[in-house]
Amino acid sequence: MEAQPARTPEREDLYRRMAPANLTPLWEVLRSLITPEPKSPVQATLWRYDEVRPFLLEAGKVITAKEAERRVLILENPGLPGQSRITTSLYAGLQLILPGEVAPAHRHAQSALRFIIEGSKGYTAVDGERVYMSPGDFIITPSWTWHDHGHEGEGPMVWLDGLDIPLVQALDASFIEGYGHDAHPVTRPVGDTLARYGANMLPVDWKPSRPTSPIFSYPYARSREALEQMRKTAEWDPCHGLKMRFANPATGDHAMPTMGTFMQLLPKGFVTAGYRSTDATVFTAVEGRGRTRIGDRVLEWGPRDVFVIPSWARHIHEADEDAVLFSFSDRPVQEKLGLFREDRGNR
């Protein structure tokens, strides 16, 4: 690569005269546009649930879910201030709903995932089918499906929202529409979709009509049981422990087209080998304590904490106890575009 060209008076004069014609020289910006490897402004950051929760409950006192539309505290990456992003391509937030509240029905082009952090007897409804939420459940709201949330239990109900907002923003493809009523009418009984598409069978003549998994709830009890069963063979991946991805049973692809979702088990005492990949990844611990080392940064995590690892940042995980981590990233997009890279080298 040639060195950055100098700015001479003659060149500066040319740049100034071409600017009104909406022209600008590539050679002044090429080295920052195309870098030899990913150079992300994203910072490795951890949000301790103990620190976030009081703010969330305070938000519950100053605004209702209905007035807010969605009562969410955005997990904003300190490297991307004011941008409502946790990574360059993804949005994340912690959403609170209180007993008796509703978050009104709407639909948008952006896809959403929910990962349940705290509470029970809250539900989310997708196109009129309710699914009750419990900690560790992974729930999908596909692009352009009606969704509303409610809470029939006691105590706060909190979940982690992941949305592909910045991706959709980059494509200028955003749409949102209100339903006009708090809740979409109930269209199917509770459990219908999981029975229909989530029992290792599919309706005989059914063909997928969208790229998102037909299953919109992946209950923790099932994912956890699968990990527990598999640990018996002790086939640990040096970089990941035992790591699974959530799948669309109709295609075998990722459960969502824009966000990859993963669940991994790190047994007590496990220290992973160094790993980096081009998909910046958001993690939350479901069970167990440990830490993640990224360069000279150490993120100490426990249950319900959320942390983010930037693109191409080599890291290791250390589990002090049996630990279960849920994570999500834009990996499906990168894979489809032929951009996904990983480096399993140690250091």
315 is a site residue for ligand 1HN (CB under 6 A): no
CB of 137 to ligand 1HN, least distance (A): 14
| CB neighbourhood size of 281 (10 A) | 23
70 binds ligand 1HN (CB under 6 A): yes
Among positions 147, 151, 254, 315, the unique one binding ligand 1HN when judged by CB under 6 A: 147
Dihedral sign from CA coordinates of 225, 322, 293, 137: positive
Q: Of the ranges 13-21, 160-168, 193-201, 250-258, which one interacts with ligand 1HN (CB under 6 A)?
A: 160-168
**Does residue number 163 form part of the binding site for ligand 1HN (CB under 6 A)?**
yes
Does 105 contact ligand 1HN by CB under 6 A?
no
Rounded to 5°, the CA angle 231-303-48 comes to: 145
Q: Any contact of residue 161 with ligand 1HN (CB under 6 A)?
A: yes
Residue showing the smallest CB distance to ligand 1HN in the complex: 70
How far is residue 6's CA from residue 203's CA, in Å, rounded to a whole number? 66
Q: Which residue, 141 or 277, is less far from ligand 1HN as judged by CB? A: 141
Give whichever of 70 and 314 is closer to ligand 1HN, judged by the CB atom: 70
- Confirm or reject binding of residue 89 to ligand 1HN (CB under 6 A): no
- Specify whether the CB–CB gap between 305 and 322 falls below 8 A: no
Decide: is 143 part of the binding site for ligand 1HN (CB under 6 A): no
Is there binding between residue 72 and ligand 1HN (CB under 6 A)?
yes
Whichever of 93 and 260 has its CB closer to ligand 1HN, that residue is 93
Let me know: does 117 contact 306? Beta carbons within 8 Å: no
Token couple for 139: 């729930």
Q: Three-state SS string across 268-337, please?
A: CCCECCCEEECCCEEEEEEECCEEEEECCEEEEECCCCEEEECCCCCEEEEECCCEEEEEEECHHHHHHC
Residues 197-256 that bind ligand 1HN (CB under 6 A): none
- Edge to edge, the sheet with strand 112-118 lists 72-74, 91-97, 157-163, 112-118, 138-141, 217-218
Q: Residues in the site for ligand 1HN, rule: CB under 6 A?
A: 70, 72, 93, 95, 103, 108, 112, 147, 161, 163, 165
